[in-house]
Amino acid sequence: MSDLPGRIAIKEEGPREGFQFEKGEIPTARKIALIDALSGTGLRQIQLVSFVPAKNVPGMADAEQVVAGFTRAPGVAYTGLWLNERGLERAIATGKLDIRGHLNLTASETFLLRNQKRTLAENLEALHGIAAMYRRRQVPMDRISIAAAFGCNFEGDIPVGVLLAQVRQMLAVAREHGFEVRTLSLADTMAWATPLSIKRVVGAVREAHPELQIGLHLHDTRGMGIANAWAGLEMGVAQYDAAVGGLGGCPFAAHKGAAGNVCTEDLVFMCEEMGIETGVDLEALLEAARLAEDIVGHPLPGAVKTGGSLRTLRAGIAAAAAA
Amino acid sequence: MSDLPGRIAIKEEGPREGFQFEKGEIPTARKIALIDALSGTGLRQIQLVSFVPAKNVPGMADAEQVVAGFTRAPGVAYTGLWLNERGLERAIATGKLDIRGHLNLTASETFLLRNQKRTLAENLEALHGIAAMYRRRQVPMDRISIAAAFGCNFEGDIPVGVLLAQVRQMLAVAREHGFEVRTLSLADTMAWATPLSIKRVVGAVREAHPELQIGLHLHDTRGMGIANAWAGLEMGVAQYDAAVGGLGGCPFAAHKGAAGNVCTEDLVFMCEEMGIETGVDLEALLEAARLAEDIVGHPLPGAVKTGGSLRTLRAGIAAAAAA
């Protein structure tokens, strides 16, 4: 257990995940209220919106208004997501976001062919265009990511060798365009990972690329999210994407399909109890999670917002003992 | 990771947990239907009911009828729960259950005082009466268990030394009455455990008592259930209590308070994916989980019953590739 990090960094993706996933229309002011609540929790990075065509993702039609309306807190990086130059232009035009590029590949060719009508080779080629775009627009870029890194609903298990080849290819593209990569994010997009595969894959990647920091983006569709995060912690992984309340999908009746990211407050709870710093005020985050639940209007899967933190219980016990 | 067991044993507690927890009345025939469905999944041990006064637990008023109605499957142990001699008599009188005794202590004196108006010393003294009862009635007894082993809402964190003392005391009581203890079950009754505390406590107990097999009874109130089970697996723990669908509590609006046991099908999924045998047919278990959800009439927290197994996806991918 000596590999446990002393501190982790969490990228909060709940607003973007939630607003683009939820079926009903969420008023812009409510989106802003959630972002402002999250700003006060100690989270250092919050992804607010995606800049994608409204016809594809109706819940993101008000991306510019959301960005215009929230209040920046000092020390917090506010990011957006884009898939092409038009999206990047929109993000830059807000004048209010922290613009950071990254390169992404998908480990599964079958998935790529189905969703983007591209082969892996074509996808790799497209990365050159994206890297050139970042260079041209002077966007900093030090992160690469791989989607479906642990398995794919259409292709099945992903051999570690395929991942490692993709990492090498992305590093080469970045280098060619003058970028130095510091972080590799592995996304369990379709929730195929188990703690054992997390350990195996992270171990193999770290052995091949000890210079890279590894991040994990974990989906909870099969209930493995927190266990996979713990397996990551055991491997020394210190960067996690997460979504407040578990926003971004829901295993309950009215919400079929994939569940959202691992739940931020459950992750913070686990870390806090184990002495791993997150910089987050758990009680404030639980308030934000309850607000998120109120905004979407249905139960969200996070457990600690209902189960309660232990810090509160300990404080009550200590107060009773002192009385 | 060399400590991972090759096979685990699961005690299914969903029927008892669910029937005694759910607020609405569940028809006896539906309870029997769930038990019969579970009997066909490969589970080798199923706890059906508690024999407790109906005025305390109305959902268990039909315990005898439930036991009378289900169909025994070969190779499955069917158990009940009792808290005193009257309960044991009722269980024996059914003539249809596998009667196995165990000794239980609670790690938290505060909890004991609140709930049973007993000190730890009085509780220990009462164990002699229980052990004598098993001896007198020729009930086999080879298991001891400790409730609130990882922490208590009223007492706080439980020092490992307190646990180890209780283990020694229970072993002494068992020995005095001529029983040989083989298994120690540690219950995280109030969901205070994290993967790190699971590893620490299991490690300390195993070091002190290498002769004992350790079992874990994990509640999911704070979302740590599966992660804690994985931590147990890493420590070589090969016995788990679990509840189909996560029956026995629910983190959703209408169901305040503690969540149920770790979800059986999510545990089976994790083990199956990691090459750890459970003897359980996951697809049959998922059917039983959906039946449980239908019976209680509200969403249950288990994830895989909605997310789906990977075996099915892999089979579809292989079939498509062969076509």
For residue A33, the domain's CATH number is 3.20.20.70
| Average pLDDT of the segment spanning A15-38 | 92
Of A230, A251, A306, the CB nearest to B230: A230
- Asked whether B167 and B209 are in contact (CB, 8 A), the reply is yes
pLDDT tens readout for residues B285-312: 999 999 999 999 988 989 999 999 999 8
* pLDDT at residue number A2: 60
Residue B155 lies in a domain: yes
Task: Catalogue the active-site residues of B.
Answer: 250
Q: Could A227 and B223 be called an inter-chain contact, meaning their C-beta atoms sit closer than 8 Å? A: no
Mean pLDDT of chain B: 93
Dihedral sign, CA of B208, B212, B213, B219?
A: negative
Nearest CA in chain A to B221: A307
Minimal C-alpha gap between A50 and chain B (Å) = 25
* pLDDT at residue number A128: 96
Residue B4 lies in a domain: no
User: Residue A41 corresponds to which amino acid?
Assistant: T
pTM assigned to the model: 0.96
Of B222, B231, B270, the CB nearest to A224: B270
Residue B134 lies in a domain: yes
pLDDT tens readout for residues A209-247: 999 999 999 999 999 999 999 999 999 999 999 999 999
Of B195, B196, B226, the CB nearest to A224: B226
* B252 pLDDT tier (thresholds 50, 70, 90): very low
- Asked whether B110 and B155 are in contact (CB, 8 A), the reply is yes
Q: Could A197 and B273 be called an inter-chain contact, meaning their C-beta atoms sit closer than 8 Å? A: yes
pLDDT tens readout for residues A254-273: 445 567 899 999 999 999 99
- Asked whether A151 and B310 are in contact (CB, 8 A), the reply is yes
For residue A183, the cross-strand partners are A143, A213
Alpha helices, H only, chain B: 14-21, 28-39, 63-69, 85-93, 109-116, 120-136, 160-176, 195-208, 225-234, 264-273, 282-296, 304-307, 310-322
| Average pLDDT of the segment spanning A126-155 | 95
Q: Distance between CA A299 and CA B23 in Å, rounded?
A: 19
For residue A45, the cross-strand partners are A11, A77
Helix, strand, coil shares of chain A as percentages rounded to 5? 45, 15, 35
* pLDDT at residue number A111: 85
Contacts of A220 in chain B (CB under 8 A): 303
DSSP class of A222: T
How far, CA to CA in Å, does B237 sit from each of A104, B91, B201, B275, B278?
A: 39, 29, 12, 15, 13
Is the ipTM higher than 0.90? The answer is yes
Quick check: helix, strand or coil at residue B219? Answer: strand
Q: Could B227 and A222 be called an inter-chain contact, meaning their C-beta atoms sit closer than 8 Å? A: no
Residue A109 lies in a domain: no
Q: Distance between CA B15 and CA B18 in Å, rounded?
A: 5
Minimal C-alpha gap between B224 and chain A (Å) = 7
Q: Which of B4, B44, B19 is nearest to B249 (CA)?
A: B19
Q: Which of B144, B150, B135 is nearest to B88 (CA)?
A: B135
Residue B3 lies in a domain: no
Q: Distance between CA A217 and CA A203 in Å, rounded?
A: 16
Q: Could B252 and A156 be called an inter-chain contact, meaning their C-beta atoms sit closer than 8 Å? A: no
Quick check: helix, strand or coil at residue A41? Answer: coil
pLDDT tens readout for residues A285-297: 999 999 999 999 9
CA angle B125, B143, B128 (to 5 degrees): 15
Q: Could A303 and B194 be called an inter-chain contact, meaning their C-beta atoms sit closer than 8 Å? A: no
Q: How many domains does chain B have?
A: 1
Contacts of A153 in chain B (CB under 8 A): 313
Domain region containing B163 = 9-322
Nearest CA in chain A to B264: A223
- Asked whether B277 and B271 are in contact (CB, 8 A), the reply is yes
Best mutation site among A194, A200, A272 for testing chain B: the one with the most B CBs within 10 Å?
A: A194
Q: Could B307 and A258 be called an inter-chain contact, meaning their C-beta atoms sit closer than 8 Å? A: yes
Q: Could A222 and B304 be called an inter-chain contact, meaning their C-beta atoms sit closer than 8 Å? A: yes
pLDDT tens readout for residues B147-198: 999 999 999 999 999 999 999 999 999 999 999 999 999 999 999 999 999 9
Residue A38 lies in a domain: yes
Residue A212 lies in a domain: no
DSSP class of A152: B
Dihedral sign, CA of A291, A297, A302, A306?
A: positive
Q: Which of A184-193, A266-275, B114-123, B224-233 has the lowest mean pLDDT?
A: B114-123
User: Residue A31 corresponds to which amino acid?
Assistant: K
Q: Distance between CA B60 and CA B50 in Å, rounded?
A: 6
Looking up tokens 């697996």 gives: B233
Best mutation site among B111, B221, B273, B305 for testing chain A: the one with the most A CBs within 10 Å?
A: B273
Of A1, A226, A317, the CB nearest to B223: A226
Q: Which secondary structure element, helix H or strand E, spans residue A186, and what is its range? A: strand A183-188
Rg (CA), chain B: 19
Q: Distance between CA A214 and CA A234 in Å, rounded?
A: 13
Residue A223 lies in a domain: no
Give the rounded percent of residues in chain B with a pLDDT score beyond 90. 81
Cβ-Cβ contacts under 8 Å between A and B: the total is 140
Dihedral sign, CA of A44, A17, A100, A272?
A: positive
Q: How close are the terminal C-alpha atoms of chain A, in Å?
A: 39
Best mutation site among B271, B310, B312 for testing chain A: the one with the most A CBs within 10 Å?
A: B310
Q: Which of A161, A167, A168 is nearest to A186 (CA)?
A: A167
Q: Could B258 and A224 be called an inter-chain contact, meaning their C-beta atoms sit closer than 8 Å? A: no
